[in-house]
Amino acid sequence: MDFGLGLPQGVHNNLRRDVTMAARLAEEAGFASLWAYERVLFPVSPAHGMYGVDGLPWLKYYEYCADPLTVLTLAGAVTERIRLGTSVLIAPLHNTLALGRTLATLDKATGGRVAAGLGSGWSTDEYGAAGVDFASRGRIFDETIDGLRALFGPNPVTYRDSRIVIDNALVNPKPETEIPILIGGGLSERALTRIALKGDGWLPVNTPGPVMAGIWKRLLDTAAAAGRDPGRLQLVAVGNCVVTSKPAGSDRDLYQGSPEQISEDAAAAAAAGAREVVFSLDGGVENADEMMDKALMLMDAANAAGLR
């Protein structure tokens, strides 16, 4: 299986140095992909708890998040082969035309290395700041996916939804290759249907292997029943990692513990059908140098376990 790495985006990083440093080292170490996530603001007094759960405090790490597409552009400029993905962009917060042109430009400039991981988000504060109706996020998300497909397709483009109208226009640049649209987010019926019918794959975060396996089978069956080729769907699992020097106890959280224990979690994801596991380390380290040291430990443990 392949392994990806989340890039440095937090306040403890020197963005001018650390993004390019991490990207170069990751490519040299054999990582297959680099990823960046999106958080557009941090409300001092949130309207709702994290993930929409009443009373759940937001992670302090979310106070500072460098723009993901800028971070991926920096990484793409100093690498040659490694793929560049978002995990995830909050799709409804973006103008579809602007987002499509940015993704296509990045893909063109990097030789076809971009994957668009999209989610619907959960923060009403972020939606309010962007001037987007939170209650309409599902419909807008679906429209964003449809709009991106149209924009990435052949010219001239004609497309209309509730937010944009394009009538027989040339929209450039086009991606170098087809940009896969991977979908993260919750496990509601609507979310699962969206993944199976509209997406090119699923981006689950911190999901146990057996749970992932059941959901993945359901997604593949739903896609096949709708006439889609389930073999084209990608399962890319994301783990928010905390690497410890000693093994954690049996009650440890998923992707937390020694490199060998985290490799066991990755192996469970592979058994569930994941073709790739992304290690996200930035939130649990003091600086990018520590992040890369631990990333290399995880890669060594994966190699020792025969996962690559």
Give residue-wise pLDDT tens across range 24-58: 999 999 999 999 999 999 999 999 999 999 999 99
Averaged confidence pLDDT in the chain: 97
Q: Looking at the DSSP assignment, which residues form a beta bridge with residue 110?
A: none
Q: Tell me the sheet residues that pair with 308.
A: none
Quote the pLDDT of residue 260.
98
Task: Say if residues 108 and 142 touch (Cβ distance below 8 Å).
Answer: no
Return the C-alpha torsion angle 94, 95, 100, 102, nearest 10.
Answer: -70
Distance of CA 307 to the CA centre of its chain: 21
- Asked if 38 and 68 touch (Cβ cutoff 8 Å), the reply is yes
Q: At 66, which helix (H) or strand (E)? A: none
- Going from N- to C-terminal start, the domains of the chain cover 2-304
Mean pLDDT of 258-279: 98
78-299-275-283 Cα dihedral, nearest 10 degrees: -70
CATH class name, domain 2-304: alpha beta
pLDDT at 186 over 80: no
d(CA 174, CA 152): 6
pLDDT score recorded for residue 188: 84
Separation of alpha carbons 107 and 148, rounded Å: 14
How far apart (Å, rounded) are the C-alpha atoms in residues 45 and 15? 28
